[in-house]
Structure 1
Amino acid sequence: MNSCYADFHIHIGRTKSNKPVKITGSKSLTLSSILKEAQTRKGLDMIGVIDCHVPEVIAEIEESIVSGFAHELRDGGIRFSSLTLILGTEIEIYDENCHGPIHVLVYLPDLAKMKHFSEWLKHRMKNITLSSQRIYEKAVVIQEKTRELGGIFIPAHVFTPFKSVYGKGVHQSMSEVFDLNQIDGIELGLSSNTKMADQIHELHKFPYLTNSDAHSLQKIAREYQLVTVKEASFLEWKKALNDEEGRRIKANFGLSPKLGKYYVTICSRCHTPVHQIPCETCGGQEVVKGVSNRIQELSSPVTSTERPPYIHHIPLDFLPGLGPKTFERLLMIFGTEMNILHHVSESDLAEVVGKTLAHLIVLSRSGELDIKQGGGGTFGKVIY
């Protein structure tokens, strides 16, 4: 068995011909730049690109295969050198049952099935060339189509206040929207962790994913997981989700929820934390409800649930004093961000960036730093 670092939620900002895909994504976030960043700088083994339904993205992958730059794996996925690309798509659902919008992730094993799915989507959404588009179809129908194609279906960032199944406060159970038997995992999002999510009883049966939802190259692998698999392929990942034949999620690495930009409830008018309405500071009536508060509303008596360890790591770009030039120097000497975050000794780090910053990096590996809580769309900050 092998241990693989994986981030399964990465957006494409632009196609090869510079056409927009994820409107809010960086223009530098092309498929080729994602592959390079994930492999040579981040040190990942598997990535899920969730805009692979776009016809021009499909064509670019096909060109890579024809040119010999990539090849399809027998067990699913596209291998680019030592990196495996898992073909995914993010879809926005909003029907009479779900009262969305709610984002979901669908992953498929090969290009033929993704092309088929893209054609199926084209007749159910207005613009197949863009990311995270609304589909005019029931959620359960999408689940059934995913199952028909041998795919993986995962509700995305399930607690965030916008575009998630729990976040808006409309739904008390995922069963109001989805067939729970056709869900393969739950993506937690940046403002929650395993302990928080396990306060909700209906989630106990599902594996948890920690992904970056990257809209820029820098944000790739701000959250990720370590999976135990025979090789980095679609089928092996699917077995890991199901905890089959020794394959498993070995650990989740995520931001401390307090660093997430929706952790606490914030007044929409004055942007200060609130504990009741109207706002104690300005009298405002509108709030952006924090994930921590929403989970409290949904929680039930907690029972013991066996989970992989959830490790509160802090990405290097969150650390005070670690700017782009220092980051580049670290990469030049130690290779990849995964190596810096997990393996390089404090003494070796100190020789490059000094004792203070080296100690910060070591503390960041286990989240042992004070944090100013985030909320209302603003990330928290490390206090040092």
Structure 2
Amino acid sequence: MYEDAQTLQRKIKSLDGLFIPAHVFTPFKSLYGKGVLASVTEVFDPYLIDGVEIGLSADTKMADSLKELHRYTLVSNSDAHSLPNIAREYQKIHGSAPTFTSLRKALYQEAGHYISANYGLHSLLGKYYTTTCAQCFTKKEGTTCTVCGASNWIKGVSERIQELMTATKQEHPKRPPYIHQVPLRFLPGLGPKTMNRLLNQFGTEMQILHHVSKDELIEVVNDKIASHIIAARNRTLSIIRGGGGRYGKVR
């Protein structure tokens, strides 16, 4: 059974729910990927949107290139396709309690509630960050693929946002910091056994990515891996862009 989007919005609101479009820039079936030509108003009632989830291949600065998104709180959340990736993207919320009511207030910055930081996959690593050949996944240069000669492209989020851009950087609203994360499994030389040693020692991947010092890391892993973790934290890693449904890679 199919229904139009605004009917769905009204039904959710009648049940006192929250309506947040997910991974809005991803190609194929997302809002800006295929759903609209230029504006959210082509699909949704903009007054019945409670927030916007930006997906793996974008960050809040990229999303704010669209002036119509300035009115919304931007959230970063993982899909639940696989257990290791659950909660890979998230936001830190300042509120009175871990409740649905507090979440609603944070989305509207009410009564001292607000989102204080977004944490998400480094956008360059996103599966759809850059435009890529649909046949052999070569990054686009020119009108036909330089490797296989095809001219069928999967448009990247970064290029799609450039097409839709309606706001300069000077016009961007003030947002919480967006913390770019490089999950441990993306780091060269860090396999399952090393991952388990790190988790056994420090508890969670987020603790390792954001808080554990290099000296502490070296007690568990070699200097090279420890340096990669610190470089990821400081955003100094060299990254090969993702696209076409394939994640990017750390060089």
Query: Into which bin does the TM-score normalised by the smaller protein fall?
Result: over 0.9
Report the equivalent of 1:306: 174
Q: Output one character per residue of 1:251-280: Cα deviation in whole Å (capped at 9) or x when no partner.
A: 111122110111111112332111442334
Q: Output one character per residue of 1:296-351: Cα deviation in whole Å (capped at 9) or x when no partner.
A: 10002321311001111111111111111111111111112222222222211110
Q: 1:149 aligns with which of 5, 15, 33?
A: 15
TM-score normalised to the size of structure 1? 0.62
Contact 1:311 1:367 in 2 (8 A): no
1:170 to 1:244, Cα distance in 2 relative to 1, 3 A: closer
Q: Does 1:328 align with 2:196?
A: yes
Report which stretch shifted further, 252-261 or 174-183: 252-261
Q: 2:212 aligns with which of 344, 349, 357?
A: 344
SS at structure 1 position matched to 2:216: helix
Structure 1: runs of 5+ lacking an equivalent: 1-124, 126-135
For the aligned residue pairs, the C-alpha RMSD in angstroms reads 1.5
Report the equivalent of 1:204: 70
Contact 1:165 1:171 in 2 (8 A): no
Aligned equivalents of 1:359, 1:227: Cα separation in 2:
30
Q: 2:60 aligns with which of 191, 194, 200?
A: 194
Report the equivalent of 1:242: 108
Contact 1:169 1:294 in 2 (8 A): no
Structure 2: runs of 5+ lacking an equivalent: none
* Alignment-mate amino acid for residue 217 of structure 1: L
Q: 2:135 aligns with which of 269, 277, 283?
A: 269
Moved runs in structure 1, 4+ residues, more than 3 A? Answer: 278-283
* Alignment-mate amino acid for residue 304 of structure 1: H
Report the equivalent of 1:213: 79
TM-score normalised to the size of structure 2? 0.94
Contact 2:65 2:172 in 1 (8 A): no
Contact 2:29 2:35 in 1 (8 A): no
1:1-384 to structure 2, matched below 5 A, reads 125=1, 136-168=2-34, 170-302=36-168, 303-383=171-251
SS at structure 2 position matched to 1:167: helix
Contact 1:227 1:247 in 2 (8 A): yes
1:187 to 1:246, Cα distance in 2 relative to 1, 3 A: same
* Alignment-mate amino acid for residue 254 of structure 1: G
Q: Output one character per residue of 1:229-249: Cα deviation in whole Å (capped at 9) or x when no partner.
A: 111111111111111111111
Question: What is the Cα deviation at residue 170 of structure 1?
Answer: 4.4
Q: Which has the higher contact order (CA 8 A, sep 6+)?
A: 2
Aligned equivalents of 1:307, 1:194: Cα separation in 2:
8
Q: Output one character per residue of 1:145-188: Cα deviation in whole Å (capped at 9) or x when no partner.
A: 11111111011100011210111274211100000000011111
1 or 2, which has the higher helix percentage? 2
Aligned equivalents of 1:246, 1:380: Cα separation in 2:
38
Q: Output one character per residue of 1:203-246: Cα deviation in whole Å (capped at 9) or x when no partner.
A: 11111111121311111222221111111111111111111111
1:277 to 1:345, Cα distance in 2 relative to 1, 3 A: same
Aligned equivalents of 1:375, 1:142: Cα separation in 2:
31
Contact 1:313 1:366 in 2 (8 A): no
